[in-house]
Each structure stands twice: as structure tokens, then as C-alpha cells.
Homo-oligomer: A and B are copies of this chain.
Amino acid sequence: MHPDKPHEIDIVKTPSSKINSVDFDTLSFGSTFTDHMLVCDFREGKWGKPVIKAYEPFLLDPSAKVFHYGQAIFEGMKAYKDEHDDVWLFRPDQNLDRFNKSAVRMAMPEVEDWIFLEGLRQLVDLERDWVKKGLGNTLYIRPFMIAVGSGVIAAPSTQYRFMIILSPAKSYYSGEVKVIIAEHFSRAANGGIGAAKAAGNYSAQFYPTKLANEKGFQQIIWTDDATHTKLEEAGTMNVFFRINDTLYTAPVSERILDGVTRKSLIALAQREGINVEERSVYVDEIIKAAKDGSLKEVFGAGTAAVVNPIVGFSYQDTYYELPKLDNSIALQLKDKLTKIQYNLAEDTFGWTVKV
């Protein structure tokens, strides 16, 4: 970094944009990327100058640590455009904070705050035409860091690459979501990396999820690996249970991700006078509540999905269908959260940040 120009980011614009070749009505989640990306390399114990440049493939050595030992973390965020063409980020400080917690757990360097936040702001600002107006349209933001140092000794890399890529998106899920409660497979260990957004946590879920898909379920609700009696989270979402008029969700822990949507929904619910309890939720009590009719709703919460109502779940080969409610708390909270994100309602929490 030049001492007279701290926190400077190089911007090398592409000569032409591919935006006109993109059909924004038929986007498939996470498969279209904008013209530019941010790249910042960590070498010899320090971060170099971030560069915003053309989105393009890059070279890695076959022995790069990310291929062999999975040192890789990421975040998921979104940008939203309001009616006045202003672009908004939602609680980027929370993503930065979690990103650096993930980095520590994976023995990776923490990214400097300004590289993450200012890099994000300048990149999204440059790509603001890719953020389309209208509820459901977003620019999905993927900050990530990978170990790029070479060598097949099982030890942390000394070289890393931090990147931000952007993907225009419509809503993540479509159709009804049915889930299966895990009875054998697990997502995280006590003393493991479940609380980190580490790449390996996700591929570990692919096979059990594939088995669930084959049975007609879209996701798994994970249980604790020791006893499979506590409901923890879904693969890409935290999970809430409504019994009568109280919401229950598992407390964040070293097994459970500290979801930004999760904590925002809790704050919103509390403001609305809805009772929320963060405590262990047991399979037994949910089955009992499903049977006696007091289980009103189950829903996932995550950046990609925002709020995802679950229509039913399976446990020990029995399927429990959830009631169809006129007055869904899930949809109420989703509406309130979405309106804040799109600057359609006052943000009394100070969550949104204008780009």
C-alpha cells in the first residue's frame, strides 16, 4: 500500500460489458457473473493491493493447498436496488465479522476490514447496472478466500487469495420445500468447524442431501451428531419452529452457523412482540407438537433463501404435513425483512448501507 494513498483499490475496467447478453428473467441461481471481480493476494504475511478487474479464470498450481486440504471460506450476501435506483447492502459488517471468524478457525489470515468493506462497495458500485429493481431481484455477492500456496504437506498455506464475485439472482428456491430430519448423517462435530463458513462443510452435505432428494425431499434438517435428538440447522439455512405462537431456534454454537438472516429475523420478531426462544429444539417435542397440532410453522432462514417456509417434514419414515396458515409468521417476517432490504420500509435497526 502506498503510504500517501492508504486503502486504494486499483480498478481496471473491461472494454465492454456482457450485460446485454444476459436474460435477467431466466437467471439460474449462481451461474451468471458480472463483468468484474475483486482480487487481493496475501503474501509474506501481508495483504497486497486489491484490484478490481475483469471476471476471468486464473491459474493455480496442481499442488495448491485449496485442492488438497480445503482451506477455503466464503460468505453469501446480497445487494438490492430501490425505486430511486439506489443500491443497498444488508449488514455487511456482520458478514465481515463472520468471515474473519471463519478465517481464524481455518488457520487463514483475517482480511483487513477496509479490503472487504471498501472492496465490496466499489465493486458493487461499478456493477450497479447488474442490480435490477423489483422484489426478488438481487445481486448475490460471494466474497471468498482460498489457499493458493503450493505443496502437498498437510499444513496451512502461506499464500492466500481473497476474491469477491457477483451474480445477479432471482429468488433462490421455487416450489414447496419438504425436509427430512437427519437420523444418521451429520453436518458438524462438537469442536469442529460447523460454525465456520468453510467450503468443506458444504460438500460434506451433498451425498446425504442427494439421498434425501431421491426420496423427494429438498433439504435435510441436521441433528446433533452425538444423539440425533436436537434439531440444528438445514444445509444452507438456519431453521425456526413455531409452536403455538412462539418461535424456537437452536442457539448458535460451534456446530451452528451464526446466520445474519437468522439474527435479523429474531430482532424483527422481538420488535413485533413475537416471542422467540433460542434454545435446543428436540426432535421429540417437534413430533409431539406436529401430532397435537401445536406445531404451526417450520421455516429456513438464510441469505440465499431469505425465509423459506417448509410444507412438511419426514422423520423415521413418517411424513408430517404442516398446516396452511392464513397468518404465517414466516411470511410476515419475510415481508418485513425484505422491505427493509429494498428500502421500502424504515430501517430502525441501522442495518442497510447505501452503496
What 1/0 flags go to A16-51 for Cβ under 8 Å of B? 000000000000111101000100000000000000
- A60 CB within 8 Å of chain B: yes
Interfacial chain B residues near A144, Cβ < 8 Å = 67-68
- A332 CB within 8 Å of chain B: no
- With an 8 Å Cβ cutoff, the count of chain A residues facing the other chain is 73
- A338 CB within 8 Å of chain B: no
Whether B63 pairs with A206 at a CB distance below 8 angstroms is: no
Whether A235 pairs with B154 at a CB distance below 8 angstroms is: yes
Report the stretch among A70-78, A117-125, A239-247, A272-280 that lies at the interface: A70-78
A119-166 interface with B by 8 A CB criterion: 140, 142, 144, 146-147, 150-156, 163, 165
What 12 new A-B contacts, CB under 8 Å, besides A30-B153, A65-B203, A187-B189? A31-B150, A57-B61, A66-B66, A66-B67, A67-B199, A70-B201, A70-B202, A107-B207, A140-B152, A182-B191, A189-B192, A191-B228
Query: Which 10 residue pairs of A and B lie closest in terms of their CB atoms, listed nearest first?
Result: A200-B200, A70-B199, A226-B226, A189-B189, A107-B206, A70-B200, A186-B191, A30-B152, A189-B225, A30-B153
Interface set of A (CB-CB < 8 Å, partner B): 28-31, 33, 37, 55-63, 65-72, 74, 104-107, 140, 142, 144, 146-147, 150-156, 163, 165, 167, 182, 184-193, 198-208, 210, 225-228, 235-236, 304
